[in-house]
Chain A
Amino acid sequence: MHLLAIGTRKGLWLATSGDRKSWSFSGPHHPMTEVYAVAIENRRERPRLLVGTTSSHFGPTVVTSDDLGETWQEPDHAPIAFPEDASLERVWQLALTPDPEIVYAGTEPSALFRSEDGGRTYSLVEGLWKHPHRERWEAGFGGQAIHTVLPDPVDPLRLTVAMSTGGVYRTFDGGASWEASNTGIKAYFLPDPYPEFGQCVHKVGRHPAAPERLFLQNHHGVYRSDDAGATWRSIADGLPADFGFPVVSHPHKPDVIYNFPLVADGDRFPPRGECAVYRSSDAGESWEALRNGLPDGFWTAVMRDAMCTDAADPAGVYFGSRSGEVYASTDEGDSWRRIAEHLPDVVCVRVAEV
């Protein structure tokens, strides 16, 4: 059975399906909370759902469920808390690692937290928090946040994060020290358009079988790195626009990626209002529009974590919109069906077989 988790600005919806065509929905879970981060850990004896919620009244937290959303658990004391002169605003990312007990959380304000109990409680990764660049990281419109956390699929000491704004940072020693890693990524909104850091990265994707290759959607600019983020080069040729939020890798084919272009920073709609996922089958050298089953008159957008793939073969691709619709493909993006509508703004989707 596939479990699809849909995080929205007003709660979480869960959907299950045996054939990925007919879905049964439940929700809202955690109504009236913003759900920006979801992870489904399906390697445990009982699959664990991890969800970051933010109540405008009662603040942010992380809750877990080991019974597919029937009941939820939360520690009495805050699972994620800053030790000193900051307070948690939002959990933007919950990232699983090869070890199911180790989970990372990316937060607003920009910080990284690490859990060693399967995502129930976390401690601050101080090496990044104390980085001398931190005082010069700025807030994008969504707030200053680490929204992308990419644990290395092989080496537990290596980790890549990305933030808005600030850019990409890497550690090779388990988080003790970090280096900015933005060579080649343009920050058109700064006096120096190619600074060491300060880029507004929207998302970074990677295929676990090719960990040296990263794909990046910037605040204008789509890039690829073939050296684990040391240097980047544009792969935006062939896209109708280089603005957007998500970039997602295919589960089995390292050269296949998905992107959802928007016209521009000042025009955050798909070109001509035509809903279209773009797919590259050659690591960004060329792109094709996937529109079979997707609507026109789509004057909305797809947020950075609102696109994902499943692990089936052929792969499923899913995305949600700010207008509360969720579309799914069971043929790697060749054709699409709307599987949900009239939800609140979708901000993240995650799927796993459970």
Chain B
Amino acid sequence: MRVLVLIPGPLRQTADNQAKVEVDLPEQATLGTLLDHLAARYPLLDRRLRDERDGLRRYVNFYVDGEECRRLSGADTRLTPDTEVQILPSVAGG
């Protein structure tokens, strides 16, 4: 199945300067599966999104069809065909 990933401006240079990336995934894939696929293509992007234990960075949000993944099942959130995953830095810093 194919899902669409929206990359925020600050991270686009780690993803060949693309704002949108399409990823082919196996059926039953999760957000974690998607991030693994992204990591293979863009390792520098991946480590902005996850630490070395594959934990989602606290102040990066992953909206799966409009719902932040932590209100779903986090990295285990199931994706479906044509899911749109929007990555957005949260309001943090100062």
Cβ of A141 < 8 Å from any Cβ of B? no
Min CB gap B59→A, angstroms: 5
Interfacial chain A residues near B47, Cβ < 8 Å: 59, 61, 77-78
**Interface size in chain A (residues, C-beta < 8 A):** 18
Q: Cβ of A57 and Cβ of B89 under 8 Å apart? A: yes
| Contact, CB under 8 Å: A56 / B93 | yes
Task: From known contacts A32-B93, A76-B44, infer whether A57 and B59 are also in contact, taking CB-CB under 8 Å.
Answer: yes
Using Cβ atoms and an 8 Å threshold, which residues of chain B touch A26? none
Tally of chain B residues near chain A (CB < 8 A): 18
A82–B55 alpha-carbon span in the complex (Å): 13
Which B residues are in CB contact (< 8 Å) with A241? Answer: none
Nearest B-chain residue to A77, judged by Cβ: B43
Question: Which chain A residue lies CB-closest to B51?
Answer: A87
Contacts of B55 in A (CB 8 A): 87
Residues from chain B with a CB closer than 8 A to the CB of A228 are none
Residue of A nearest to B47 (CB): A78
User: Closest CB-CB distance, A71 to chain B, in whole Å?
Assistant: 13
* CB-based contact A82/B60 at 8 Å: no
Is B93 a contact partner of A57 (Cβ separation < 8 A)? yes
Chain A residues in the interface with B (C-beta under 8 A): 32, 55-59, 61, 74, 76-78, 81-83, 85-88
B51:A88 contact, CB within 8 angstroms: yes
Across the interface, which residues of B come within 8 angstroms of A32, CB to CB? 93
Whether, in the assembled complex, B71 has its beta carbon less than 8 Å from a beta carbon of chain A, the answer is no
Contact residues in A for B52 (Cβ distance below 8 Å): 78, 81-83, 87-88
> Out of B43, B51, B53, B57, which one reaches A57, CB within 8 Å?
B57
18 examples of A-B residue contacts, CB within 8 angstroms:
A32-B93, A56-B59, A57-B48, A57-B57, A57-B59, A57-B92, A57-B93, A58-B10, A58-B60, A58-B89, A61-B47, A77-B43, A81-B52, A82-B52, A82-B53, A85-B53, A87-B51, A87-B53
Given contacts A58-B11, A87-B53, whether A76 and B93 have CB atoms under 8 Å apart is no
- Nearest residue (CB) in B for A60 is B51
Distance in angstroms between the alpha carbons of A74 and B7 in the assembled complex: 20
Closest 8 CB pairs of A and B: A87-B51, A58-B48, A81-B52, A76-B43, A57-B89, A56-B93, A57-B59, A76-B44
Complex: A209 Cα to B38 Cα, angstroms? 51
CB distance from B64 to the nearest CB of A (A): 19
Cβ distance B23 to chain A, nearest Cβ, rounded Å = 18
CA distance A82 to B89 in the complex (A): 24
For B54, the closest partner residue in chain A by CB is: A87
CA distance A76 to B48 in the complex (A): 11
> How far, in whole Å, are A243 and B10 apart by their CA atoms in the complex?
41
